[in-house]
A and B are shown apart, each in its own frame.
Chain A
Amino acid sequence: MSAYVNKSAAAPDAEIPISMPTVRMTDLRARGEPFTWALGGALALGCLMIISFLLMVFWNGVTTFVPKDVAVVTSADGTVTAGEPSRTELYKVQPEILQTLKPEVQQAIKDNDGFASRTLYRTGNYDIYNEDFRWVSDYEVAKTEMPADILFAERVEWGPLIARLKSMNIDGQQIEPVDIGNAAFREAHTAARDRRARIAQIEKDDIGRINHKLEELRLDVRRAELKSGRDSPAHVAAQRELEERSKALEVEYKVLADEAARLRDINSRNTATFVEIGGREKQMAMDAIVRIYAANNLDLVDNIGIYISRWWEFVSDEPREANTEGGILPAIFGTAAMTLLMVIAVAPFGVITALYLREYAKQGRLVAFVRISVNNLAGVPSIVYGVFGLGFFAYVLGGSIDQLFYPERLPNPTFGTGGLLWASLTLALLTVPVVIVATEEALAAVPRSMREGSLACGASKWQTIKYIVLPRALPGIMTGIILAMARGAGEVAPLMLVGVVKLAPELPIDGFFPFVHLERSFMHLGFHIFDVGFQSRNSEAGKPMVFVTTMLLIGLIFIMNITAIMVRNKLKRKFKGSQF
């Protein structure tokens, strides 16, 4: 304390009090440097984790579709394995196996604390081997080759095929030996694939249309029965109509089904015979081969071509093989549609609520209570919203809608089960607190002078809100909506209860009236990740897809957010230069 004693004051005799300058120490703790370092360090750690997470997802996602070499490994005991090396790890060798090994190998493993390294090969040929992957210990390996004629084929079922091509059989005509670069092979393969696409088109679109019409007619009959009673004139007329029209439709159906059968027959007579590395033969139809290439004999152009064609298939096609292969177009579509619907629902609802709370409600205990409740809603686990969505939206609301508008379809539910609309509304409910809080803040930030200026001009409160307050608060409201979108698009748990499925047979938008089918269940990227990674037959095969799908989900959310942020910045620019 002596530092603060004015020395001149201690000497009462002095005529003129002279204040002596005292040296006041500021120690390191007071300056706050250690805290600055701690704060900066925490930030750096956070950034590092996020960046490494993104890098990992991005790297794995980007490299998944690169064609890999196929190694042919000959073991010391003569077994041959052909496959893509997938990863290498150290493992502890079992003692009973260790004893069977050669002394020098045993010694080497002992020197390494009992560990040996092994490599996981993706062998494919699930239909022949009953497994997709095989471990090969490094000490077993006698010889590793990269033969140029070994082929890697992606198939519509059974996963990849790794084998050599033996012969080709077109309409009973045996052609051998062939290689895949051969023009005849390519032509036959392309023709078979085209026929397959045509069959799919006939079955899905043309026959689908006939089935849709038949279903409509059947519903008309049921509707007439419900409305006018069984055997009433209207009911009988509808039944007669069904009989007449269905005859014509059945003729149409027959033509299409015959055409599909004819194409299928041609395809079954166009086959290729492969020999896997162990010598077993496998004959398969050409149209079952999605893509085939000589894995060890690719130049850069081939590599890029395969890479791009795989990506294109991924983003533009439907999944196959229990979602572990093929594309994820329905999931991309479902995620985007659900998020947009959610925004359409949450934005007006949240903004109107916040407007009333901030501008009109008398600020008292009740409003404070409502505000606390809204904030607490943001902390409720999302699965709870899922349960509520299923119970209230799907069963109560959807059930009532079915009773009122779709009685002819009962007991099959239309809206009375999970679907796109209910999922969007559930997520809207989940994210509405975010929008309310952000909107309230934005409204509170509108300068008082603006409101007063408007009121002084004779504007009513509503006119002031409409012309002055809302436009001015719009960037802040947009921020809230962006946050809500980011939260909603990444949410999976509640969706599993209210409409997300592993495989949706139809997109929510198609060519049948009313074109947008909000009651349909849909696919979602987040759920797709969970399903592929943990629910599929072979999680090892699904792992790369997990990363690609994650990357795509992040990308989708990124794109949606960037769009919203650009809109917001455009609005903000409008208010730049306003001095308050």
Chain B
Amino acid sequence: MNMDVQTLTFDDTIYHVKKGGQGTVLEINTLNLWYGAAQALHGVTMPIEKGLVTALIGPSGCGKSTLLRCINRMNDLVDGLKITGEMKLQGENIYARGADVIALRKRMGMVFQKPNPFPMSIFENVIYPLRVDGVTDKTILEETVERALKGSALWNEVKDRLQDSALGLSGGQQQRLCIARAIAGDPEVLLMDEPCSALDPIATAKIEDLINELTGHYTIVIVTHNMQQAARVSDNTAFMYLGRLIEYGDTETIFQTPKSPRTQDYVTGRFG
């Protein structure tokens, strides 16, 4: 990339969003974000369609993970963070003064880059969101475990050893366990931050199948480095570059006939 960053000019974002028919679940409006003095997001405006898979792509450092972590306010843990603009979950501003962060996170699930099961049994891992809510009814817990593990296509592999440590599972199984944990609380939005980057191709294929199966049941926002993956699993794709949303729309159009020359350059592999 030999363009001089200082002299770059940006046009407005190009939108051609595919509608899911169920309306938007999340509306992001002119979101700006600073880490200390450095601005990481520049006026991102982006509606997320309910029931569809939305992929965020772009070169390293473009702000796609930052945007994803804004959705469940994971960035709150960072010192010196400043945010303007608004983000509405079902019409409710996430960044409103006095918004309950914990209640907000309970409405979302998140899957991280590296599998991060807790050092507990498989059973305890899956019901962790219910445990923190104080649910102790055994039948509810058992039903949840079965539903979540079936939902993450792990049930058949682990149903006989639910009390074993989750750390004994393989990397791919651990990541599917994390997905089970994320959907155990019945989230409105499922956030995935490069969920396959630490996995081998076979485990990756399984996760992708899983995402395809979850489509329709959950609204999924997935960050990925892998453009093929974005093309395979998503309905809508957002291309981000240097903290700006360049183009956001139907995945097929983005990868085959992108409207922005920058998107064209990126998806054809000219840079990034």
Contacts and interface: CB of A to CB of B under 8 A. Distances in A.
B181 A457 contact: yes
Nearest to A459: B132
Contacts of A457: 105, 109, 128-129, 132, 181-182, 185
B109 to A, nearest CB: 7
A99 interface: no
Interface stretch (A372-380, A549-557, A562-570, A571-579): A571-579
A579 B174 CA distance: 10
B238 interface: no
A86 interface: no
A467 B132 CA distance: 9
Contacts of B108: 456
A453 B72 CA distance: 12
B112 A578 contact: no
Interface string B92-114: 00000000001101101110101
A460 B119 contact: no
B160 interface: no
B74 A455 contact: yes
Interface residues of A, number: 25
Contacts of B117: 453, 578
Given A453-B118, A472-B119, A574-B119, A459 B165 contact: no
Nearest to A447: B116
A166 to B, nearest CB: 76
A457 B107 CA distance: 9
B174 to A, nearest CB: 8
A152 B70 CA distance: 87
Contact of A458 (B116, B167, B178, B185): B185
Interface string B142-157: 0000000000000000
B114 A460 contact: no
Contacts, number: 82
A471 B119 contact: yes
B185 A467 contact: no
A452 interface: yes
A227 B106 CA distance: 60
A457 B178 CA distance: 10
Contact of B105 (A451, A455, A472, A576): A455
A286 B52 CA distance: 99
Given A452-B116, A456-B109, A578 B167 contact: yes
B131 interface: yes
A450 B112 CA distance: 10
Contacts of A580: 114, 116
Contacts of B38: none
Contacts of B168: 577
B77 interface: yes
A452 B77 contact: yes
Nearest to B115: A579
Contact of B167 (A452, A459, A467, A577): A577
A447 B112 CA distance: 13
Nearest to B113: A449
A170 interface: no
A460 B132 contact: yes
Which of B132, B168, B178 has the most CB atoms of chain A within a 10 A radius of its CB?
B132
A468 interface: yes
A459 B128 contact: yes
B127 to A, nearest CB: 10
B171 interface: yes
Contact of B112 (A449, A471, A574, A579): A449
B110 A456 contact: yes
Given A455-B105, A456-B110, A577 B165 contact: yes
Contact of B171 (A450, A453, A455, A579): A579
A117 interface: no
Nearest to B127: A457
A536 to B, nearest CB: 55
A535 interface: no
B133 interface: yes
Interface in A295-312: none
Contact of A453 (B106, B116, B185): B116
9 contacts: A449-B114, A452-B77, A455-B105, A456-B105, A456-B109, A456-B110, A458-B129, A472-B119, A580-B114
Interface of A: 447, 449-460, 463, 467-468, 471-472, 574-580
Given A453-B117, A577-B165, 4 more contacts: A453-B110, A459-B129, A574-B165, A578-B167
Interchain residue pairs A-B with the least CB separation, the first 4 = A458-B106, A456-B110, A577-B167, A453-B116
Interface of B: 72, 74, 77, 102-103, 105-106, 108-110, 112, 114-119, 128-129, 131-133, 165, 167-168, 171, 174, 178, 181-182, 185, 191
